[in-house]
Amino acid sequence: MSIIVSMSLDLAECDRARLARDPSYDGRFYTGVRTTGIYCRPVCPVRPARSANVSFFPSAAAAEAAGFRPCLRCRPETAPFCSAWIGSRATVERALRLIVEDGALDAEGATVERLAGRLGVGARQLTRLFTRHLRASPAKVARTARVQRAKRLIDETSLPMTEIAMQAGFGSLRRFNSVFAEVYGRPPTQIRRTRRPATKKVKTIETAGNLESLTS
């Protein structure tokens, strides 16, 4: 039986959207395929899995927390930022943007307590909101955002891995290699070897408009 994690979309709606590859749902939920251990965007070009074999998640971080790896075809790290499912929950939306776009939990000494203070709420309250709406803690959302930044840099640039690790928000190359391999099931160097040659080299990466945690 298909499973849907807490969010405003229902199971049947999500299933229709993924089977139709409806672009209006891109970024609103992610589909985990239990037979492959991979999670995808609703617009994934791969042949859709049977409905009985999928689970739905409100964020990339939630899918990863459940043990799914990102799809290398539809690239969840490039999904648009979408807060439609959040509705009026402005605190969660603001926190997400600070984490994803500003790297609010990446710098040395950054804490959930300081992030919550910027939003005018307590750390426990913010964590409860994330658990309720994203099924992942702020720390896990931030980890997913860092991995997704790194994945885009690997795909789109020829920067050395050390610089990618730093720009993505990791404190060290060792930590970057460890987390990336945990999420993708392979080291970043292997991902780079299998991609097409980068066409440009950049020094910074734009994160606006992309949801990255979602849901470590």
Buried b (16+ CB within 10 A) or exposed e, 37-58: ebbbbbbbeeebbeeeebbbbb
Q: How many domains does the chain have?
A: 1
* Confidence at residue 212, expressed as pLDDT on a 0 to 100 scale: 39
pLDDT along the chain (216 residues), means of 10: 52 94 92 97 95 93 94 91 54 90 92 93 91 90 95 95 96 95 94 63 41 40
* Confidence at residue 92, expressed as pLDDT on a 0 to 100 scale: 87
For residue 60, is it within any domain? yes
Q: State the catalytic residue, choosing from 44, 79, 112, 164.
A: 44
For residue 137, is it within any domain? no
For residue 27, is it within any domain? yes
| 82 catalytic residue (yes or no) | no
Dihedral sign from CA coordinates of 127, 130, 136, 139: negative
Q: Which domain holds residue 28?
A: 3-78
Q: State the catalytic residue, choosing from 54, 62, 74, 129.
A: 74
For residue 204, is it within any domain? no
* Confidence at residue 18, expressed as pLDDT on a 0 to 100 scale: 96
For residue 34, is it within any domain? yes
CATH number at residue 36: 3.40.10.10
| 14 catalytic residue (yes or no) | no
For residue 43, is it within any domain? yes
Q: State the catalytic residue, choosing from 7, 38, 60, 71.
A: 71
Q: State the catalytic residue, choosing from 40, 95, 142, 159.
A: 40
HSE (CB half, 13 Å, CA atoms) of 177?
A: 9
For residue 163, is it within any domain? no
For residue 168, is it within any domain? no
* Confidence at residue 142, expressed as pLDDT on a 0 to 100 scale: 95
Tokens 């409905």 belong to which residue?
A: 51
